[in-house]
Structure 1
Amino acid sequence: MLALSLLLFNPLNGNFPLRTLDSAFNTSPMIPRLRLAPHSPEFSRIAYGTWRIIDEPAPTPQELNRRIQTCLELGMTTLDTAEIYGGYEVEEALGRALALTPGLRDKLEIVTKAGIYVPNKFHPERRTAHYNATGARMVKSLEKSLRFLGTDHVELLLVHRPDWLTRAEDTAKGLNDLVRSGKVRSTGVSNYNVHQFSLLNSQMEKPLVTNQLEYHFLHMEPIYDGTFSQCEQLGIVPMAWSPMAQGRIFDPKNEAAVRLKDAAEKMAPRYNGATLEQLAYAWILAHPSKPMPILGTNKVERIQSAAASVGITLEREDWYALWEAAQGRRIP
């Protein structure tokens, strides 16, 4: 039986001893839980992202069910999806996988997103890709998501992108209606700037609980443009999509990736041999706004490896060393 050494934090002594996790997962979950806001449901500290889960070769419902079970046993109970993922087919694939195990859905938190509409085989009448965050569209999209997922509610609904043609009060009406109906436990946004967030939030009966943003070594804008600072000020937790920069931080042809690899190898001995991938998650987790990384992989071993990153607390100088490696310059 294969075994994987994982870094687990020991709260009694503050150390990071190595612990073996075998493929049968004979251990308690290692990923802690948190609330994105005081009034939100609880979520796992790392979410499993489903953007590319049906990429070729597409998994069978049984294979996808086993992958979800793997996440669950590690404590990665939050699934992040979206109406548009997989050409509008991922939610349905998830629903088929969840239906194979009675009660499985009740052990998970589902995050979904709506608001992006593109021409596709289901809607050939669409001429142009566009955003639509009207209240009526939010309600219609969410109700379709519930049917596909085979559930009567989701823990979190996000507006996927800002819609420049819809007033915030219109979007808020749909979101507020969904929360009141019980079909949505909490609401948030994705890819909003601080002004767009503030405007929509001002119209909400229950405040927004998160802003899901691109954040990784090669895209650090949230720590410069005020979005993470806004989350910290409001006491909400942002979500970080594409934490591995869609694999670019491992590209030997990318100069920043080469620098990161060298920096990670030098500091790895201080973290029980942690990989660049694990250090990348730890770097994200270390920000004071407590970003929730959204893991995106179809490989079980990478799910297991990512789970170990919650046990790594980067030293301040190492966090900045990784910043310098990514930027290719010293701090200002």
Structure 2
Amino acid sequence: MAWLVTGGAGYIGSHVVRAFLADNIDVVIVDDLSSGHAEFVPAEVPFYRGSILDAELLGRLFAENPIDGVVHVAGFKYAGVSVQRPLHTYEQNVTATAVLLQAMQDAGVNRIVFSSSAAVYGTPNTDLVTEDTPKAPESPYGESKLIGEWLLRDEGVATGLAHTSLRYFNVVGSGHDGLYDTSPHNLFPLVFEALLDGRTPRINGNDYATADGTCVRDYIHVADLAISHVAAAERLQAGREIEPVYNLGSGDGVSVGEIMSAMAEVTGIPFAPEIAPRRAGDPDRIVASGERARRDLDWQMRHTLDDMVRSAWEARRAAA
């Protein structure tokens, strides 16, 4: 038996795949490579190239492989772009999830771990976000992730689907050489590409109500995140009690200024970041409690900030 990882050729999905393999659990991958990379797929893992909007492809995949459950990582993950492309975002994140759930139901597969997002909270009015913090998404992306959670909840009522949703915050670092974040919108790759191109990285605003004036965010290592996906899958498979949602957060925060200092030290490229104007809607601080996930999903911060920067930098340079 195996677990299907949708989006398993992407940055996060490829780490989830390797966490399953490290636990001696077989994996199958489906990915359309719209943001994933074929070279991220281990040679021994069955790989279906295509969209989860393709019900026929999913039907064939489930017919050809004994699937125990699904880790659903595939999706359109660019919150800012989603404001300009709401229909595309809803198609990729809501319609595609519904197609996947129908294919699972048709195949008799009734376990799923869903990749959700901190974007469901919008701009929370609290110093420490918990799973019970009010949901107020501020982009089609955040809305689509919340709807995905609702779809799982409703399928659980209707069909007995066993499910949980993991709300990510800022995922960084690398657990394997050659696996790195290629997003054109995330902070770490933006800084690395600037340094590699000889440009000066920038900070959007330094007048926030924080210790150094820059935004404080929750940064978590991708390998730690991947371990908790396996723990969630194993808990579902064992039929143990599981919460419908978990925050994968540090309980602490790191400022953008602190990240820039760590980047300069780890890379050996000294720089003073350019200070740009604030971005509209950026709150001073967003940090989440990971206590519920620590209790149930082997969640812990195994990596320091320097570990996160160093592993991400080494993986990016190994791929250069």
How would you bin the TM-score normalised by the shorter chain?
Answer: 0.3 to 0.5
- TM-score, length basis structure 2: 0.33
- TM-score, length basis structure 1: 0.32
